[in-house]
Amino acid sequence: MNYLRNWVLAAYRAEHPQRRNPTQQILDDFDQLLFSKYDQELHNQSDSSIPLDLFNRSILVYFATRSEAVTATTKVKHAYEFFRNTRPIP
């Protein structure tokens, strides 16, 4: 997986509230979808105060999925803003 499993699970659950029994393949596919949609944008908008380690990338992607913005660019922008304002820790 590209991101930490628990954050992928949280994003999957938030986006698919009625699906309560995803297979590992479904989660792997969802993880790849998140990676394809957000990872390059995470690097494009990188912030020197936020290392892009696995935890930070995982939580940033989760935050991006929760944004009500339309584009991945804006969703990632919102994710970085929320991260900077809350400073989540593992």
pLDDT at residue 51, rounded to an integer: 95
Average the pLDDT over 4-29 and give the result. 97
What gap in Å lies between CA 59 and CA 67, rounded to an integer? 13
Q: Residue 90 contacts by C-beta under 8 Å, 6 or more apart in sequence?
A: 55
Q: What is the pTM of this model?
A: 0.94
pLDDT at residue 41, rounded to an integer: 97
